[in-house]
Amino acid sequence: MNGLQIHKAGIASSVQDSGRVGTLSIGIPPSGAMDRPALMSGQHQLGHQHDEAAIEMAYADFAATLTEAHDVVVTGAPVQLRINQQACRSEGVHHIEAGQTLEVKATREGIYSYLHLSGGIMTTPQLDSRSTSPREGIGGLDGGFLKDGDIVPLGAPDKAVGAADPQLTIKNSTTVLKLRFVAGFQFDDFADEAIRSLLAEEFTVTAKANRMGVMLNGERLHSGIAALYSEATCYGAIQVPPDGKPIILLNDRQTVGGYPKPGAVISSDCLRLAQSRPGQRVRFAVCSPEEADRIGWLEQHYLETRLRDRH
Amino acid sequence: MDFELGPAGEAAMRLVFTGPPQPALTRALLKIETKANQRFGSMLTDSVIGYTTLTLFFSASALERDRTEAWLREQAEAIALTDDSDPKHSAADVVLPVLYHPSVAPDLEWLADDRSLSIDDVIALHSDATYFAYATGFAPGFCYLGTLPAALRTPRLDTPRAKVPAGAVAIADAQTAVYPCESPGGWRLIGACPEPLFNLGNTPPSRLSVGATVRFEPIDEADFRALGGVVA
């Protein structure tokens, strides 16, 4: 079988494409690549047209052998790349021969890196996506994170024409990351003091961060809201549990929740948060829905411009 | 009925009614959801009904805020809640077999003792009622069912169990539910249902959906095993 034989999977590697649409109503989160521009960058460089999945690696510590020759690209958080025990530059497309070994190791920046392979990953899609939702056991390889010894099936490398690196790597702020959010949900019901703290204080990203969400540390937010009827969550929702430590919900979030939420961080800033290491300082700022629309439109335009063919 | 409209992040609108949950409200939310699907077509990527909320998710940049809000306001204002009764005595849409026995229900004896009831009383109370599906979520196929008879209402465990088995029939506050798959959980477990509640191979994948009425049918251990149930 044409496959990627994994020797070392690392702490949280999984098959991800751009995720699912329309499954919230049956309780399944969208999942998909935490760093969507990184996914698109790799697809672009290999000439992929069909939302081919990549292997997402958190704090990459990954080693695998290819049973057949493929082109590969690594995107997202910067890594050290070794092919057949030879260190090589991590950017750009690399041709790897059958039997050669590939090692990907995280550097000190970012969290999620993506290994893209020509021909694409050929695990069976579920609900129109190959993305893994580990909690639900859906998608990917047997619904879970990749393990040492797994063999990820690959498609035959096609004659797709790749393109130049669109330079979409997220460079996080070395000082304070701004988290702009659209106020909503229970914003008006939150205790004034909690909203004041949310807007005035600085928070830091904790180690309690994964594909479901990122917990922040800082001034405790006491919403003063006792109990809520369960309702839909959304990408970026700022969930405030009774302990007062806000959690920003991301790709593998529960689709419904009963904790108070003063709003939701816009997706552009969520991507940067997802790629932030523990200790990253963040600050919240309210953003009107119209401003969020403008930022979204500009980001989309920027992506499309970068992803125009440039050979 | 009073309601509020607002954004749920960048690309979703949230309609919330300020009164208590009731089946008539859920039915009204289901009607608005159906109309929204007709009105917005493929621009509407998803919708989620909560106890008192309807959240509509749009594809990025397809949400026209003013027009969508005006349309939702019109729908919400038109709601007339005629039937606000719990469906206590109506025929249930779904009947789920349940083995109520301490071997599969670690909190059953505790609950009976705590309420000075016999286990048979607990079984009768839980299985005589017809429940209404107010919301789905927590896990695929998980459905919040209400309303639990007052005599059985109990708070969640202080420390949730790390592992609740698939099929566990559970209660918390005024709600009851069946865990569709193994997961952590803080609800009290009083029975086990041998029938699967979620299967991606089925259309729809979930046995229960919002607005359904549900009843539990006590079965014995032989029937439980025959239906595929496993007793530890």
d(CA A118, CA A300): 25
Using a CB-CB cut-off of 8 Å, the residues of chain A touching B63 are: 293
Q: Which residues contact residue B197 at a Cβ distance below 8 angstroms, ignoring those fewer than 6 apart? A: B141, B142, B143, B167, B178, B180, B206, B207, B208
**Interface membership of B21 toward A (CB under 8 Å):** yes
State whether B137 and A23 contact (CB < 8 Å): no
Domains of chain B: 3-77 (3.30.1360.40), 94-226 (2.40.100.10)
Domains of chain A: 3-153 (no CATH), 176-306 (2.40.100.10)
Using a CB-CB cut-off of 8 Å, the residues of chain B touching A185 are: 6, 8, 14
* Chain segment A258-277, per-residue pLDDT in tens: 899 999 999 999 999 999 99
Closest partner residue to A235 (CB to CB) among B9, B49, B142 is B9
Q: What is the pLDDT of residue B183?
A: 87
- Can you tell me the mean pLDDT for A287-291? 95
Residue type, B55: T
Q: What is the pLDDT of residue A242?
A: 87
Using a CB-CB cut-off of 8 Å, the residues of chain B touching A232 are: 8, 12, 14, 48, 50, 53, 55, 137
Q: What is the pLDDT of residue A171?
A: 85
The answer to whether A68 and A98 have CB atoms below 8 angstroms apart is yes
- Can you tell me the mean pLDDT for A202-223? 97
CB pairs under 8 A between A and B: 129
The answer to whether A296 and A180 have CB atoms below 8 angstroms apart is no
Task: State whether residue A60 is helix, strand or coil.
Answer: coil
Q: What is the pLDDT of residue B137?
A: 86
Closest partner residue to B50 (CB to CB) among A230, A290, A293 is A230
Task: State whether residue A187 is helix, strand or coil.
Answer: helix
d(CA B168, CA B191): 6
Quickly state the pLDDT bin for A256 (edges 50, 70, 90): very high
Own/partner long-range contacts of B178-182 (Cβ < 8 Å, ≥24 apart): B178/B96, B178/B142, B178/B143, B179/B139, B179/B142, B180/B139, B180/B140, B180/B141, B180/B142, B180/B206, B181/A136, B181/A137, B181/B139, B181/B140, B181/B141
Q: Which helix (H) or strand (E) holds A272?
A: helix A267-274
- Can you tell me the mean pLDDT for A271-296? 96
Give which of B48, B68, B163 to mutate to test A binding, by max A Cβ within 10 Å: B48
State whether A24 and B142 contact (CB < 8 Å): no
Using a CB-CB cut-off of 8 Å, the residues of chain B touching A290 are: 65
Q: Which two tokens stand for residue A17?
A: 């494409």
Residue B118 distance to chain A (closest CA, Å): 32
Quickly state the pLDDT bin for A311 (edges 50, 70, 90): very low
Using a CB-CB cut-off of 8 Å, the residues of chain B touching A138 are: 140, 200
State whether A21 and B45 contact (CB < 8 Å): yes
Residue type, A227: A
Question: How does pLDDT run along chain B (232 residues), one tens digit per residue?
Answer: 899 999 999 999 999 999 899 999 999 999 999 999 999 999 999 999 999 999 999 998 788 999 999 999 999 999 877 665 555 556 789 999 999 999 999 999 999 999 999 999 999 999 999 999 999 988 899 999 999 999 999 988 888 898 999 999 999 999 999 999 888 888 999 999 999 999 988 988 999 999 999 999 999 999 999 999 988 7
Q: Given a cut of 60, is residue A89 above it in pLDDT?
A: yes
Quickly state the pLDDT bin for A141 (edges 50, 70, 90): very high
Q: Given a cut of 60, is residue A73 above it in pLDDT?
A: yes
